Amino acid sequence: MRTTLSISDVLLQELRQKAAESRKSFRSVVEETLQIGLGRTSARTKAKDFRIEPHPLHLKEGFTAVSLNQLYDQIEAEKNAASR
């Protein structure tokens, strides 16, 4: 289906540049870009799996099951007690 769109010169230039870089037709680049914008495309690449590596915190015994706020309070209390 044919239609006429009014778009900015900057956007037009970007689409033409993308078409030239990918060696695709201007029409296919516009269609792919619209599909991506609408969230309905197979052109999107699947997100790569990532792995989170745990790191030891080297906490003293007794801090393992404590919430972070309580942990912070305990550390501050130890600092205050040591400075007195």
pLDDT digits (tens, 9 = 90+) for 44-73: 566 778 888 888 877 666 655 557 778 788
Q: What is the pLDDT of residues 3-48, one digit of tens each?
A: 888 999 999 999 999 999 999 999 999 999 988 888 875 555 667 7
- From residue 39, give the alpha-carbon distance in Å to each of 24, 34, 35, 46: 21, 9, 6, 13
- Sequence-ordered list of residues with C-beta below 8 angstroms from that of 44, at least 6 positions apart, any chain: 36
**Residue type at position 48:** K
Report the distance separating Cα 39 and Cα 41, nearest Å: 6
Report the distance separating Cα 34 and Cα 18, nearest Å: 14
Decide: 44 and 36 in contact? Cβ < 8 Å. yes
